[in-house]
Structure 1
Amino acid sequence: MNTAEFDEIRPYNDEELPAVFEELIADPAFQKVATEVIPDVPFELLAQKMRGCKSKLEFQKTFCYGLLWKLAKDCTDGLTLDHTSLPDKGKAYTYLSNHRDIILDSGFLSILLVDQGMDTVEIAIGDNLLAYPWIKKFVRVNKSFIVQRALTMRQMLESSARMSRYMHYTIGVKNQSIWIAQREGRAKDSNDRTQDSVLKMLAMGGEGDVIDRLMEMRIAPLTISYEYDPCDFLKAQEFQLKRDIEGYKKTMQDDLNNMQTGLFGYKGRVHFQTAPCINDALGGMDRSLSKPEIFARISTLIDERIHSNYRIYPGNYVAHDLLYGNTDFSAHYTQEEKQRFETYLDKQLAKIQIPNKDIPFLREKLLLMYANPLTNYLAVRK
């Protein structure tokens, strides 16, 4: 197999790291960020520690692991993973998950896996988030592979096919797990649905029919439940701006602002829950169905497994009751918990600074974000 076609998008190989480390160490923008993130260690010492890392995993354990756990302690009320549905820890899986945070979904997953004696994941990351050359290098040191976004239709098809081949190679040959979101971008209203296009992309590589190709990827649906989403007010704000301004588009600065808010904002409790690999269900699927029908059924199957594994918090029940103006779920929260959620809501609404601020609209959008996981959970748990 010719792996040279992946050179532009894949993470760096371990033997390439020394040269890349030197490039990063010499980059003033990287120096500035590194000293801001790790202020109590002189940069020379950080550079020395980087040069000592012989593999991507060693780099992650030396730098990212501690930083992410510090972030978890500062910004969450607990970070947990239940991986019991996938008992074979030596197998590589494609963790296909709902998407809440640009950096932390995959970052938190990796440190939780390390704590359970497993390897970190490779991560699909859009090149729209790689604003500076040092970021592109840094994410490739950190086991990311690049999803190319701004392409013509034909280029997009070629790029997707190459990425699919790369992912099949990563799971099948490298035996390296991957994390990928179930859709492009985050679900702004937390109504998590798998896009058929993601499955179509995964089925471009590999051998055999569509079902064989997807079975090669060993897809394990993963549910991520944040008690509070620090970007909720930014998402609500975006809903109003899109409503009021024709053709509204977020800027690069908006993306960076989202990343920063997501990283350092308060998240409450955060839980990761794996579902069994879907190969059991794929093996029994009718292969004579049309491709669109096969993709639709598999998307539904993944959605059901993701939805049934939500960790439902008091705020989700409160939001549902407030949104629909009833007390159907009042047995699931105390008055104190209701008060706490409403206070949180008011605080987030107050952060929105836009002209013609439509509070009832914004409030409804925020409530919807917290009610939707419960709505979807109940729909599959019936």
Structure 2
Amino acid sequence: MTNQEKPFSDISPYDSSEFHEKISHLVKGPGFEHAVKWVLKDIDYADFCNQLLLVKDGNTFQKEIMMPFLELLVAKTTSGLTCNGLGNIDTSKAYTFITNHRDIVLDTSFLNLCFLRSGYPTTEVAIGDNLLIYSWIADLVRLNKSFIVKRNLPRAKALDAAKELSGYIHYAITEKNQSVWIAEREGRSKDSNDKAQDALIKMLGLGGNDGFKQNLMEINILPVSISYEYDPNDYLKAREFLLKKNDPDFKKTQRDDLFAMETGLLQPKGRVHFEIGTPINPFIEATTENDDKNVIAREVCQLVDCQIHAGYKLFPINYVAFDQLLNTNQFSDKYTQEDVLNFNNYISEQINKIDEPNLTDSDRDYLHEMMLTMYANPLKNKITAENKCKNEQNKD
């Protein structure tokens, strides 16, 4: 079968028959060389390229190339990467992992590192084509088991693209027995108020050959919660909120996206934790047979939200932010005065990184409020979810 005849060949990861050709092309590009030397300052690039040229497939690429690189990032930019709930995964099955979204690059990279450390199968990764700014980035991510999500299409083409994407996810799960990852919504939730989008669930139900509910059950949705102690992009997100507040037509540039990727990769993140939930098929199956897809999609979103919110790992920074935002001392037993001082200094330093001319005192107050909101929202949502999820599960 030729490349043109392969199912979903324009969006799927590269397979072993394409690997050598694509890597050979990748390592010759000046953009890739510049990026590697920027991130890995002391690397012997020629030796690195020779290692790449020996890689035969995506799994080997992740184990031999990505895993050492990610372990280096964990050591240099975090205070530890932890994962709980691996026992909820049956390694003989494929899943659709749905997570909240904090970092453009590292959310799934760190999740896959958790799997690699434990000998679990890694996932394929959904990535928006808006981030494939250069051709070498597109090649790199498809070598690294990523599949492409087509964004910003005219309405006439958007449905076809959604059907293709859903079809590929169903194909990966049912034919390849390959798990996939996708974020709960298009783009990151800038204020950390993570909510699954109905549109995502409806897209997932387009693939398959049965009814909407059966199509969703076919892909084994399993929510995963991601918690970063510090978000290196927090001040960039606050800046974006401010610019949109002052100019509703403000749009990020490709340069903004590249800088956000670089910042997320290289700057400190504190502790990072993944909490793997439980498959939601039993709850989907319990929904009323006569419910239409709008009702089912909303209920599935609520199931995903409950597990993600309840699974947050909270840090002193979250409790301090909550109390300062709401002017309370409700959680004062969760932090020390040193924690408060460190948090206040951190927020001030991050806001001072925002290079915008003519910032007013009102602008700075708004930036400060948005930074507090980002760190308080996980706690707000966890408080709600811990009661709501228990009640929902007890009903079933």
Q: Which residue of 1 aligns with 2:392?
A: none
Change (3 A) 1:3 1:183: farther
CA contact (8 A) 1:85 1:276 kept: no
Q: Which residue of 1 aligns with 2:102?
A: 100
Deviation at 1:87, TM superposition (A): 4.0
Q: Which residue of 1 aligns with 2:260?
A: 258
The secondary structure found in structure 2 opposite 1:362 is helix
Deviation at 1:237, TM superposition (A): 0.6
1:66 counterpart (68, 77, 87): 68
2:214 counterpart (212, 220, 239): 212
CA distance in 1, matches of 2:235, 2:110: 22
Deviation at 1:45, TM superposition (A): 1.6
CA distance in 2, matches of 1:224, 1:124: 16
CA distance in 1, matches of 2:241, 2:337: 30
Gaps of 5+ in 2: 388-396
Deviation by residue 1:166-225 (Cα, 9 ceiling, x = unmatched): 000101111111110000000010000000000011000012111110111100000000
Does 2:393 match 1:375? Answer: no
Deviation by residue 1:276-326 (Cα, 9 ceiling, x = unmatched): 000111111112112211111111111011111110111111000000111
CA distance in 1, matches of 2:276, 2:342: 29
CA contact (8 A) 1:85 1:275 kept: no
- Give the aligned residue type for 1:283: E
Q: Which residue of 2 aligns with 1:142?
A: 144
CA distance in 2, matches of 1:31, 1:260: 15
The secondary structure found in structure 2 opposite 1:230 is coil
CA contact (8 A) 1:237 1:362 kept: yes
- 1:8-157 to 2 correspondences below 5 Å: 8-157=10-159
CA distance in 1, matches of 2:364, 2:114: 38
Deviation at 1:3, TM superposition (A): 6.6
Q: Which residue of 2 aligns with 1:194?
A: 196
Gaps of 5+ in 1: none
Deviation at 1:47, TM superposition (A): 2.0
CA distance in 2, matches of 1:111, 1:3: 32
Deviation at 1:28, TM superposition (A): 2.1
The secondary structure found in structure 2 opposite 1:220 is strand
- Give the aligned residue type for 1:172: T
Task: Give the structure-2-normalised TM-score.
Answer: 0.94
- Give the aligned residue type for 1:285: T
1:286 counterpart (285, 288, 303): 288
CA contact (8 A) 2:102 2:231 kept: yes
Task: Give the structure-1-normalised TM-score.
Answer: 0.97
Q: Which residue of 1 aligns with 2:163?
A: 161
- Give the aligned residue type for 1:360: D
The secondary structure found in structure 1 opposite 2:347 is helix
Calculate the aligned-residue CA RMSD, in Å.
1.5
The secondary structure found in structure 2 opposite 1:125 is strand
Change (3 A) 1:93 1:189: same
CA distance in 2, matches of 1:62, 1:35: 18
CA distance in 1, matches of 2:30, 2:39: 14
CA distance in 2, matches of 1:81, 1:3: 39
CA distance in 2, matches of 1:181, 1:127: 14
The number of residues matched between the two structures is 382
The secondary structure found in structure 1 opposite 2:6 is helix
CA distance in 2, matches of 1:71, 1:90: 30
Does 2:324 match 1:322? Answer: yes
CA distance in 1, matches of 2:71, 2:280: 30
Q: Which residue of 1 aligns with 2:394?
A: none
CA contact (8 A) 1:5 1:162 kept: no
CA distance in 2, matches of 1:302, 1:339: 35
Q: Between 297-306 and 353-362, report the one with greater CA deviation.
A: 353-362
The secondary structure found in structure 2 opposite 1:180 is strand
Q: Between 181-190 and 17-26, report the one with greater CA deviation.
A: 17-26
The secondary structure found in structure 1 opposite 2:88 is coil
The secondary structure found in structure 1 opposite 2:63 is helix
